[in-house]
Amino acid sequence: MLTLNYVAMIARDLERALAFYRDLGLPIPEGAHLNEQGEPEAHVEVRVNGLRVAWESETLARLVNPHWVAPTGNARLSVAFDAGTPLGVDEVCAHMRARGHTVQAPPYDAFWGQRYATLQDPDGNAVDIFAALPTT
């Protein structure tokens, strides 16, 4: 049986990507993109609810796969965060907008029963924020 253990995103600017996800509340220490000598790292990883989430530089992506080419157009990755409550979705979007991040689709009540919004990370990936709507 397979267990999902690791998700990695390739970042054009590692420091900027980490700041975005730190602003969302992921446990990414300040300066995580630097080694002990203060030089940039090519890989940063944190553990979230047992899942390893990582960010890698484009340079590292090319070392691992010499044929790797940065995507153009729409991103091919989407991640989603449960905000816990509909109000939480609104609060996360307001917080992220205030921090200068892009809210691609402002909060709305989706037909499938969730308060839903979509942010855009610095590399163009969709980051959905959701919470179940109360049932009547």
Domain membership of residue 51 (yes or no) is yes
Are residue 45 and residue 84 in the same domain, yes or no? no
Q: Is the dihedral of CA 121, 88, 113, 108 positive or negative?
A: negative
Are residue 127 and residue 83 in the same domain, yes or no? yes
Domain membership of residue 111 (yes or no) is yes
Domain membership of residue 58 (yes or no) is yes
Residues 49 and 81: their CA atoms lie apart, in Å, by: 12
> How many structural domains compose the chain?
2
Cα→Cα distances 90→14, 39, 81, 115, 125, Å: 27, 37, 13, 9, 20
Domain that holds residue 88: 78-132
Domain membership of residue 73 (yes or no) is no
DSSP 40: B
The predicted structure's pLDDT at residue 37: 95
pLDDT digit string (tens) for the chain, length 136 residues: 878 899 999 999 999 999 999 999 999 999 999 999 999 999 999 999 999 999 999 999 999 999 999 888 777 788 999 999 999 999 999 999 999 999 999 999 999 999 999 999 999 899 999 999 998 7
Are residue 52 and residue 102 in the same domain, yes or no? no
The predicted structure's pLDDT at residue 76: 72
- Can you spell out the DSSP letters for 67-134? T-----SS-S-EEEEE-SSHHHHHHHHHHHHHTT-EEEEEEEE-TTSEEEEEEE-TTS-EEEEEEEPP
pTM for this one? 0.91
Are residue 87 and residue 127 in the same domain, yes or no? yes
Domain membership of residue 59 (yes or no) is yes
Which CATH number does the domain housing residue 121 bear?
Answer: 3.10.180.10
